[in-house]
Amino acid sequence: MSTGTSRGFTKQAARNIFYGGALFFALLFIVLVTDSSRQIPQRSNQAALTPAVVRGKALWETRNCIGCHTLLGEGAYFAPELGNVYQRRGPDFIKGWIKAQPTNAPGRRQMPQFNFTDQQLDDLVEFLKWSNGINTEKWPPNIEG
């Protein structure tokens, strides 16, 4: 017969582990939030924000472009990623493509014709150029989005 006793956690030990873990993860959370907050201004491309970019973003939102396209991985996956379209195609291609819609190409779904003015097209291109300048840690992973 064994005379030893089995020792489990005492209430005090369990409480200390809980409080110690909670404190550790709270401090870790604060460190991660602080680090992220310090990096945002360098990565966000906020220095390049202009009134044209703001107007272009307003067009992006009011025309629900994100309902079909993704921008930096966010949005619908129905149409191409546009986070790097400025780098891929350039401003003249973007404007020409939007003006030419719908293309009525057989077998393709069609982008609507928004009848943008030249100023609106310039603003939308400025917004896409600004989006292309955000440090996304190489997202999307390939040039074609």
Tell me the residue range of the domain where 35 lies.
8-43
pLDDT reading at 4 higher than 70: no
**What are the pLDDT digits (tens) for 107-133?**
888 899 999 999 999 999 999 999 999
pLDDT of 145 reads 66
Verify that 122 and 63 share a domain, yes or no: yes
pLDDT of 105 reads 83
For 7-38, give one letter per residue: b (16+ CB within 10 A) or e: eeeeeeeeeeeeeeeeeeeeeeeeeeeeeeee
Verify that 28 and 91 share a domain, yes or no: no
Verify that 32 and 98 share a domain, yes or no: no
Q: What is the CATH number of the domain that holds 83?
A: 1.10.760.10
pLDDT of 142 reads 78
In a domain, 139, yes or no: no
pTM of the model: 0.77
Verify that 51 and 39 share a domain, yes or no: no
